[in-house]
Each structure stands twice: as C-alpha cells, then as structure tokens.
Structure 1
C-alpha cells in the first residue's frame, strides 16, 4: 500500500480515487478479492473514512468495485468482450468522460469570454508558449500530452481573472486528467482539435470575446460529439 505522502494538498477524493484506480490497474487486489475495510484504508492513506467511502462509490459506479453491504467491497472481474457484447468498462469510461466535458464546457466558455476582455500583450506570448508545448507533445506520451493540454486551458482560466472559475477548474482537474489520459490511450480515432486550440488563442490575442467563445465551443463539442457517436455505435 502506498504511503499517505502520495496524496498532495488539494481535493482529497479525486486524488484518492485515482490512487485506488491505479492500484486496481496494477492488480494490487485480484478479481474477486475483498478490499481492506474503510477504516484500514483511511488509516493507511491518512485520510478520512468519508473520503474513502466516496472514492469507492465512484469506482463502483464505473464497474470496478462491488460494494456488498454487510460483506465488504470486492474487485470486479472484467466481463468478457465479444463482437456481440460491448466493452462495459469502455462504455462507462466514455459516459464519465462526457460528464466531465459537460462541466468543462460550462467553465471554459465563460473563462474564454472573460479572458478575451482582460488579456494583455505579455499574456499572449505565455499562452502561445503553452500551446506550442501542447502541440509538441501530441502523439507522444498520453500523460505528458494531457498535462500540457490542461496547462494551456488552466492558463486561460487564470487570464479570466475570476478566482471562482479557477478554483472550480482546479477541483475538477484531477478527475478530468484521469479521464483524458484514458481517452487518449484507448481511443484511436479521436478528432484532432489542434486547429480549434489555435483559433482560441488567436481570438484571445485579438480580444475578440465572441470568437473566443465560438472557438472554445468548437474545441470541446468536437470531442463531445465523437464520444456520443462512439457510445451510440455500441
């Protein structure tokens, strides 16, 4: 079991969920095996029982754990996948990603509008550097690419000058990061939204709030449409 120091400052539940998800991926507990109790996990990880309970609930929702009241929490064996049977975990992963994108759209559209009104010339070059870093990492390590992508969007959040928007994005960022890494890793036919990112930047550089909002919507809804289409095909 990892040391509690693996959890950083910030929202605990998303970090704890990601940690447990990684342990399950590494088969720390085998399929059918019972997890340690909430009390034991909380003590070993240095978190509250309520945080453990919520993280377990999210993993159970994704079909990774089976919470049996009175018996404990057990690791779910992945279902066999045939041509006639959809990959249930893939469907759950896409459904959760779609939820994350719906939240992301609400935050980023308003951030783009405000940033276009408040951006300064020196901000444009910093943002351009973030975008170059994102584009340079495309097609490489999924985690590095996702981190660079989120840095670009986080920079726009900060340029909005709205501390509440920045705070909300910071809260959802760990969940979004995990979902995006899985998407980039497993979805071979993802649409290339590099041009939409460039359009966002150029609109911000011009101080054109309407164009910045439109480019942000194009960027996010292109991926959302892809996810919905993939789910409909199953």
Structure 2
C-alpha cells in the first residue's frame, strides 16, 4: 500500500510539473517590431485583423487586404455599426461593403449602454446590419458602466445578446476588457466568445476566462488607412476562424 501511495504522489508531482510547463509555454509571447505596421506584433499568432469606425475616415480596403510583411497580413476586420438606440456609424455602410469586396472576413459591433433600452438597441443594430454566410457573429461592445450596478449591466446585456442570437441564429461575441468583464459580467457570460482588449503591456491578457480575439494595440498602421488603427489577433487558425463565422 505504501508503494502505491508513493507512486500516486510521484504521478501528481509529474502532472503538476507538466501543467506548469504548458502554462508557462502558453504565457510566452514573441513580439517583433515591424516599422511598416508601426508597432510590435505578437508573431505567435497566424491570424491578424483590425477594428475600425468612422474615425479611420475613408479607407482603401483593397490596400489593407494586399499589405503583407513577412507572413503577416490583415485577414479580418471588425467594423462599428451602431451605438445606443439611435446612433449609426456614418462610415459603416461603406466600410462594410468595401471590406467584403476586398475579401476580408467582416464583423459588425454595437457600442452598448446599460442605461438604454436593450431591445431598442438590438433593433438599431438589426436595422443596419445584414449578416450573411461567412460573416463573423454580431459583437456586443460593452466597456462602460455608466454608474450602473453589475446586476443591471448583466441583465440588460443578456437581453441584447439573446435578441441577437434570435435574429442571426449564432451566439454573439462580447468585446470588453478584463477588469470590466470580471467586475460586471462574471461567469454568467462564459459561454459567449470573448474579444478582449489588453494593450500597452507586453503579454497576453491575464485572464482565467478563455478568449478568441485579443486587441493588442490601438496605435497600429496599415496601408490604406491614414490614421492609427486598432490591431487584433485571433487565437486559432484559418479553419477555426471559418468555423466561428455564420454558416
């Protein structure tokens, strides 16, 4: 019996060591400076993208798509569509059409306010965004509390998300930062794909919650856009990204 216990202890120690090795391996990110993009890029990832709004002004999407430095090119773009119950991004229609024609995988996002009627916010998004096969799921951009308690933020966000799932038959993506997620959302939303904002620090988002997209910089540069732009990576390969899109 003593030998059995010793054997079990050895196995536990070895398993713990292996888990720690994988954890440390997962944490290491290799950044390489690319002057063409104006930022240090996390080259551990194969799939790179940007997110834009009217503030990027007139975008030459073909130039965005054609730019490639080493193995890095822009494969997807999240585009702001709506905000609150009435606001619609002035550049959305043009960006949406031109990004699609250029061959980029597209996603549309809604800037959410927990102080506004979530049903009306969902209607605002549906009136603007026509998602089709090959597009990314709708995105809930939720990053401000507006002095609302966590319970209100969770309940209103849940309504918007459920309305999107009814309308587009796919589970929406949540965009936020780690602090907001852990403070206001919590494990009630762990089933939703997560797009996490985390930049100005040379490391992966320090979150126990698995994420699919990482917004790692807000000062990147890319051909076809005259302003700085947010850069993102996808945690997976092209097959994984295709599976996430609307069938």
The reply to whether TM is greater than 0.5 is no
- Structure number having the greater helix percentage: 1
TM-score for both structures, normalised by structure 1: 0.26
- Structure number having the greater strand percentage: 2
